[in-house]
């Protein structure tokens, strides 16, 4: 993006606290943040809470928490629009005085009737200008409308879309202040962007239809408009705009599923932006490399598998100690402890690191450390715990029982080698029934490792439990 050398870049993220922060909003916030940090500029957080019915403090808190979790920090704010109503009203007054806006006393019922009539006659259903030409003051509640030009055009050069032009005659005299005295989004956004010295507005494509209206407000107030960059929306695999129908969309939902903040940031950054074929970016690299002009012009497709892949990358990068700390809520959820100072537990975390794609999967994989299986994988039982399998189980059990409780991985391995030698069985035939006994599952970290982690005594106990279970359930 080009800008004057002496100009300090000022950007903002302006969420409405009417819901949780979604992937799309997080991406808008991230791109603004990266753009500001890259340019040594400033990033402002503005809460657009003028819709008193739908705005809630808990969403403000949640949005702030999610941004902090992602590592997106701001230099000013949060600024609340609800604290600035006097400022907006002052500008509404000014426009009224200058004759650039007018009071409209048309009732919602009247407007609706006119709209229907226009549609029925095949006309454009915009406001017909009744109150624009009113000579005498009206009565009752009023809205304030901007007097938009009847001729000419309004245009801007979008960083991503290029030249965008509208004919003014297509833009009705729209409402800038509702009858309850609260100004509309288009108005508050312009006043704030102008007074806060915002140089670049980077926001979702869904706002592009608002931009000509906002430009007319800039024009009426003789403010200089910022540079606009409208970023293409995010779609699901079916190309429809990403929504709850596609599964999780809230940042908090991904956190609860066990995605790491680093993976989310990396994934969201790549969602619509790239740098060659590089996939993995740290926040520092993103700050160094990101430029909004490089954002893709076409919609980005959300792909959960790719996010899972990135998450597994970041899980593998972490030190087991840090990972153990992050696992806490996921162990809590299962009613399990999370002893991040326990060397055996850390050993287990290290073993699970290359396998788990989320923290939740990791916690699931770690559960056996704390309790003997309550269920055994059914197919595994039938496949590996037949007559031969039980024979192997008994042999390994008896060999293990002779080891000291602090037996090393090597000694454990020797047990399996010995049984392989005497029976001629392949390793998998021995390992699978033991794995089932210890974890209830047919997939887990290496069998020697898990015996070492659990301890030989516990392993023997669990093999006995499985043999008992097989006997009671008459599995053949
Ligand atoms: N409050 C608007 C939203 O959440 C902000 C749009 C803008 O960035 O101008 O969509």
Q: Is the shortest distance between the CB of 51 and ligand 1 below 6 Å?
A: no
> What token pair was written down for 297?
């012009």
Contact 231, 295 (CB under 8 A): yes
Instruction: State which ligand 1 atom lies nearest to the alpha carbon of 25.
Output: 4
- pLDDT on residue 63: 98
Q: Give the HSE-up count for residue 250: Cα atoms under 13 Å, Cβ half-sphere.
A: 13
- Cα-flanking dihedrals φ and ψ of residue 239, to 5°? 75, 0
Per-residue pLDDT band at 13 (split at 50, 70, 90): very high
Residue 3 has pLDDT above 70, yes or no: no
Classify domain 85-231 at the CATH superfamily level.
HUPs (3.40.50.620)
> What token pair was written down for 159?
């960083």
* 322-355 residue pLDDT tens: 999 999 999 999 999 999 999 999 999 999 999 9
Give me the residue spans of the domains in the chain.
1-74+232-317, 85-231, 318-369, 378-472
State the distance from the centre of ligand 1 to the C-alpha of 16, rounded, in angstroms.
7
* 378-472 belongs to CATH 3.90.190.20: no
* 123-135 residue pLDDT tens: 888 898 899 988 8
Average pLDDT on 302-310 reads 97
Q: Is the shortest distance between the CB of 207 and ligand 1 below 6 Å?
A: yes
Ligand 1 atom 4, closest CA: 15
Instruction: State which ligand 1 atom lies nearest to the alpha carbon of 207.
Output: 6
State the distance from the centre of ligand 1 to the C-alpha of 170, rounded, in angstroms.
23
Average pLDDT on 261-283 reads 97
Least confident range from 138-142, 163-167, 317-321, 363-367: namely 138-142
Q: Per DSSP, what are the bridge partners of residue 234?
A: 300
Residue 177 has pLDDT above 70, yes or no: yes
Contact 153, 167 (CB under 8 A): yes
Sorted by sequence, the CB contacts under 8 Å of residue 127 that are 6+ apart come out as 104, 106, 111, 145, 172, 173, 174
Contact 223, 194 (CB under 8 A): yes
Burial level of 366, CB count in 10 A (0-12/13-18/19+)?
buried
* CA–CA dist 176, 134 (Å, integer): 18
Instruction: State which ligand 1 atom lies nearest to the alpha carbon of 14.
Output: 5
Instruction: State which ligand 1 atom lies nearest to the alpha carbon of 12.
Output: 8
Contact 43, 12 (CB under 8 A): yes
Q: Which string of DSSP letters, residue by residue, matches 360-417? A: HHHHHHHGGGTS--SS--HHHHHHH-SHHHHHHHHHHHHHHTTS-TT--HHHHHHHHH
Residue 476 has pLDDT above 90, yes or no: no
For the chain, give the mean pLDDT: 95
Sorted by sequence, the CB contacts under 8 Å of residue 109 that are 6+ apart come out as none
* CA–CA dist 150, 133 (Å, integer): 14
Sorted by sequence, the CB contacts under 8 Å of residue 379 that are 6+ apart come out as 442
Decide whether 1-74+232-317 matches 378-472 in CATH topology. Answer: no
Per-residue pLDDT band at 261 (split at 50, 70, 90): very high
Per-residue pLDDT band at 4 (split at 50, 70, 90): low
* CA–CA dist 349, 331 (Å, integer): 12
* CA–CA dist 102, 98 (Å, integer): 10
Residue 1 has pLDDT above 70, yes or no: no
pLDDT exceeding 90 applies to what percent of the chain?
Answer: 93
Residue 268: strand, helix, or coil? helix
CA distances (Å), origin 107, targets 103, 138, 172, 194, 263: 12, 11, 17, 32, 51
CATH topology of domain 318-369: Helicase, Ruva Protein; domain 3 (1.10.8)
Average pLDDT on 407-433 reads 96
Q: Per DSSP, what are the bridge partners of residue 175?
A: 145
Q: Per DSSP, what are the bridge partners of residue 163?
A: 157
Select the more confidently predicted residue: 118 or 413: 413
State the distance from the centre of ligand 1 to the C-alpha of 216, rounded, in angstroms.
18
Residue 2 has pLDDT above 70, yes or no: no
State the distance from the centre of ligand 1 to the C-alpha of 137, rounded, in angstroms.
35
- Which of 185, 225, 234 most suits a substitution to test ligand 1, by most atoms within 8 Å of the C-beta? 185
State the distance from the centre of ligand 1 to the C-alpha of 90, rounded, in angstroms.
22
- pLDDT on residue 473: 87
Average pLDDT on 257-271 reads 98
Q: Is the shortest distance between the CB of 155 and ligand 1 below 6 Å?
A: no
* CA–CA dist 234, 242 (Å, integer): 6
- For 44-196, where are the alpha helices, taking DSSP H only? 57-70, 85-97, 108-120, 185-195
Whether 244 sits among the annotated catalytic residues: the reply is yes
Residue 42: strand, helix, or coil? strand
CATH topology of domain 1-74+232-317: Rossmann fold (3.40.50)
Contact 395, 419 (CB under 8 A): yes
Ligand 1 atom 3, closest CA: 15
Average pLDDT on 376-383 reads 95
Q: Is the shortest distance between the CB of 203 and ligand 1 below 6 Å?
A: yes
Question: 76, 50, 48: which is closest to 196 by C-alpha?
Answer: 76
Average pLDDT on 47-53 reads 95
Angle value at C-alpha 436, between 257 and 416, nearest 5 degrees: 125
State the distance from the centre of ligand 1 to the C-alpha of 117, rounded, in angstroms.
32
């Amino acid at each position: 993006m080009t800008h004057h050398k002496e100009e300090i870049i000022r950007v903002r993220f302006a969420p409405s606290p009417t819901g949780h922060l979604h992937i799309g909003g997080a991406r808008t916030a991230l791109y603004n943040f990266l753009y500001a940090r890259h340019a040594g500029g400033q990033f402002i957080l503005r809460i657009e809470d003028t819709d008193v019915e739908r705005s809630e403090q808990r969403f403000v808190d949640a949005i702030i928490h999610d941004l902090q979790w992602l590592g997106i920090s701001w230099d000013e704010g949060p600024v609340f629009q609800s604290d600035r109503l006097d400022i907006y009203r002052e500008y509404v007054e000014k426009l009224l005085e200058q004759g650039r806006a007018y009071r409209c006393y048309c009732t919602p019922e009247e407007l609706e009737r006119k709209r229907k009539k226009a549609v029925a006659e095949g006309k454009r259903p915009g406001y017909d200008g009744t109150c624009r030409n009113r000579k005498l003051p009206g009565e009752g509640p009023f809205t304030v409308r901007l007097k938009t030009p009847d001729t000419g055009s309004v245009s801007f050069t979008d960083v991503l879309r290029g030249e965008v032009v509208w004919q003014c005659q297509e833009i009705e005299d729209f409402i800038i202040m509702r009858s309850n005295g609260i100004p509309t989004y288009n108005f508050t956004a312009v006043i704030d962007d102008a007074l806060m010295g915002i140089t670049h507005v980077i926001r979702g494509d869904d706002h592009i239809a608002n931009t000509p209206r906002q430009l007319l407000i800039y024009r009426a107030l003789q403010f200089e408009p910022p540079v606009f960059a409208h970023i293409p929306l995010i779609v699901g695999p079916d190309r429809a705009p990403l929504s709850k129908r596609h599964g999780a969309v809230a940042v908090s939902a991904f956190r609860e599923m066990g995605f790491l903040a680093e993976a989310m940031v990396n994934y969201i950054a790549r969602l619509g932006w790239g740098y060659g074929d590089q996939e993995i970016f740290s926040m520092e690299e993103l700050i160094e490399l990101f430029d909004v002009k490089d954002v893709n012009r076409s919609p980005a497709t959300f792909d959960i598998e790719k996010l899972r892949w990135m998450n597994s990358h970041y899980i593998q990068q972490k030190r087991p100690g840090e990972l153990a700390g992050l696992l806490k809520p996921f162990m809590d959820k299962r009613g399990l402890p999370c002893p991040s100072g326990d060397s055996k537990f850390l050993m287990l975390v290290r073993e699970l690191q290359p396998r788990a794609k989320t923290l939740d999967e990791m916690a699931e994989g770690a559960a056996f450390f704390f309790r003997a299986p309550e269920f055994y994988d059914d197919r595994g039982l039938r496949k590996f715990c037949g007559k031969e399998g039980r024979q192997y189980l008994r042999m390994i059990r008896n060999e293990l029982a002779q080891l000291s409780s602090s037996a090393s991985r090597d000694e454990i391995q020797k047990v399996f080698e010995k049984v392989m030698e005497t029976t001629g069985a392949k390793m998998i035939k021995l390992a699978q029934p033991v794995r089932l006994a210890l974890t209830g599952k047919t997939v887990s970290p290496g069998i020697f490792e898990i015996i070492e982690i659990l301890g030989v005594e516990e392993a023997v106990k669990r093999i006995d439990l499985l043999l008992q279970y097989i006997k009671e359930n008459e599995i053949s």
